[in-house]
């Protein structure tokens, strides 16, 4: 399972990385359960509280059993996803163009549209 799938989908991942879900400035991590931004300072987790608009000490990271993602890694996964989608769309367009060219070639070839009963006279 990749990082974006772990979050849920690309839209949710983009919301998390853009920090639309919080008033925190540049949080480093996002906890998946509970859904909360946090930072780690000297090995200690500090969860951000939007109501108080500050980080509060929780406990050492090594003692935490919740699943979390590094926001920088999530941004990289989104960029790679966007690049993959872009390349896929580019390939689809190239395939579409080759199919269209094939169709046009067959339609413009007059030999495909002449009745077999028509006589051709060379001059």
pLDDT string in tens for the chain (123-residue length): 588 888 888 888 888 888 877 888 889 999 988 889 999 999 999 999 989 999 999 999 999 999 999 999 998 888 888 766 655 555 555 555 555 554 444 445 555 556 666 666 666
Tell whether omega for the bond before 22 is within 30 degrees of 0, i.e. cis. Answer: no
The predicted pLDDT at position 104 comes to 47
The predicted pLDDT at position 62 comes to 94
Enter the DSSP assignment of 19.
T
The predicted pLDDT at position 106 comes to 47
The predicted pLDDT at position 7 comes to 85
Closest CA to 22 of 34, 4, 5: 34
Residue with tokens 């990749």: 2
What is the distance between the alpha carbons of residues 84 and 78, in angstroms, rounded to a whole number? 10
One-character DSSP codes across 35-64: EEEEEEETTEEEEEETTTTEEEEEEEGGG-
């Amino acid at each position: 399972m990749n990082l974006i799938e772990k979050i849920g989908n690309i839209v949710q991942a983009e919301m998390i990385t853009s920090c639309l879900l919080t008033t925190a400035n540049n949080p480093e991590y996002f906890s998946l359960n509970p859904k909360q931004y946090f930072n780690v300072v000297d090995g200690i987790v500090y969860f951000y509280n939007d109501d108080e608009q500050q980080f509060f000490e929780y406990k050492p990271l090594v003692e935490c059993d919740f699943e979390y993602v590094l926001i920088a890694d999530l941004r990289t996964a989104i960029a790679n996803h966007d690049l993959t989608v872009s390349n896929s769309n580019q390939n689809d367009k190239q395939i579409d163009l080759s199919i269209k060219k094939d169709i046009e070639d067959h339609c413009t070839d007059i030999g495909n549209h002449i009745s077999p009963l028509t006589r051709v006279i060379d001059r």
